[in-house]
Amino acid sequence: MDLRVHHRTTYRYGSPVDLAQHVLHLSPPDTPHQRVLSHALRIDPPPASQFDHRDAFGNRRVHVALQSPHDTLTVDADSRVLTEPPGPLPATGPVADVPWELARDRLCYQAGAPHHEAAGFVFASPYVPRDDALAAFARGAISPGQPLLAAAQALMRAIHDGMSFDPSSTGVNTPVLEVLHLRRGVCQDFAHLMIGALRSLGLPARYVSGYLLTEPPPGQPRLVGADASHAWVAVAVPDGAGGSVWFDFDPTNDRCGAGSPGEDYITLATGRDFGDVSPLRGVIQGGAQHTLSVAVTVAPTDAFPADAA
């Protein structure tokens, strides 16, 4: 699919901000399943300095510094991405057949053994603890000896079927254990819950941020700014040759695949949890209280609303 994304973030401050430093994760990468055709960042007021580099997870991260007083900050990210359908989950073979317990043992950190890239995603992170309650939730969805891919799919389905999507129930800092108790939340919550459940069994999993194309109701126009960022999970599976392969699982929509959950998904960044890939975060001097508004439009390029960017 040839997709375009416009992501606008606006901060309005109660009093002028004198100085600000911000970090942006708003630049989609080229991957085997997506190719970036164009990407532009527009920042108002213009920063005094701006540079980008790769973070520890390989994401493109942009640093900006603003050194003049301002009471509004607007960041526009405009991207055009060509996506491909993901590969299916393999039904047989060394990747498909490995039991989750054996996968756990193969992928965990072992002193003196070669470092395995996936091993770093088995530990607790700021938004995702390892906890007995999360392990119990996972064991309620999967079976002993079940192949890891099938187990991840079963856990994804348990979250999809057992949780209610409710944007009013949680906030960005709602703890995973509270989400488990509430049985409701949004895509960030469901991704954190699945990651925490897997890690609590000793299995590495990482957080994926991005976008998902949504369709308006039949006969209705596509609304400008009505979409949102999306989040899902990637699970590492041993490849039988000493490495691993990552597969994507979206518990919000019960979709999965190799490389992405679908061709209507755009991957933006990966990390241990939301904190590693927050679209925009930073520190400011001044500003007092502030309000934040985010407007995201995702549409096929040939049907992109003229007034969306």
Question: How do residues 143-172 score in pLDDT, each as one tens digit?
Answer: 999 999 999 999 999 999 999 999 888 888
| Predicted confidence (pLDDT) at residue 210 exceeds the cutoff of 90 | yes
Torsion angle (degrees, nearest 10) of CA 170, 14, 7, 127: -30
pLDDT in tens, 273-285: 999 999 999 999 9
Give the number of other CB atoms < 10 A from CB of residue 234.
Answer: 24
Q: Exposed, middle or buried, 38 (CB in 10 Å: 0-12/13-18/19+)? A: exposed
| Predicted confidence (pLDDT) at residue 116 exceeds the cutoff of 80 | no
Query: Yes or no: is domain 94-275 CATH 3.10.620.30?
Result: yes
| Predicted confidence (pLDDT) at residue 4 exceeds the cutoff of 90 | yes
Band (225; pLDDT cuts 50, 70, 90):
low
Fold match flag (2-83+276-303 vs 94-275) = no
CA separation for the pair 279, 290 (Å, rounded): 17
Position with higher pLDDT, 221 vs 85: 85
CA separation for the pair 253, 194 (Å, rounded): 13
The pLDDT of residue 165: 93
Contact predicate 246/69, CB 8 Å:
no
Q: How many residues does the chain have?
A: 309
The pLDDT of residue 114: 67
The pLDDT of residue 244: 85
| Predicted confidence (pLDDT) at residue 68 exceeds the cutoff of 90 | yes
Residue 219 DSSP class: T
The pLDDT of residue 141: 97
Pairing, β 184-185 against β 164-165:
parallel
Give the number of other CB atoms < 10 A from CB of residue 248.
Answer: 26
Q: Long-range contacts of range 62-65, CB-CB < 8 Å, 24 or more positions apart?
A: 62/23, 62/24, 62/26, 62/27, 63/21, 63/22, 63/23, 63/24, 64/21, 64/22, 64/24, 65/19, 65/20, 65/21, 65/22
Domain range annotation of the chain: 2-83+276-303, 94-275
Identity at 192, one-letter amino acid code = H
pLDDT in tens, 133-145: 999 999 999 999 9
Position with higher pLDDT, 217 vs 7: 7
| Predicted confidence (pLDDT) at residue 115 exceeds the cutoff of 80 | no
The pLDDT of residue 275: 95
Contact predicate 21/286, CB 8 Å:
no
Give the number of other CB atoms < 10 A from CB of residue 70.
Answer: 20
Q: In 166-191, which positions are buried (b, 16+ CB within 10 angstroms) versus exposed (e)?
A: eeebbeeebbbeebbeeebbbbbbbb
Q: Which helix (H) or strand (E) holds 275?
A: helix 274-277
| 3-state helix/strand/coil string of 96-164 | HHCEHHHHHHHHCCCCCCCCCHHHHHCCCECCECCCHHHHHHHHHHCCCCCEHHHHHHHHHHHHHHHCE
| Predicted confidence (pLDDT) at residue 300 exceeds the cutoff of 70 | yes
pLDDT mean across residues, the chain: 92
Position with higher pLDDT, 309 vs 153: 153
**Architecture per CATH, 2-83+276-303:** Sandwich (2.60)
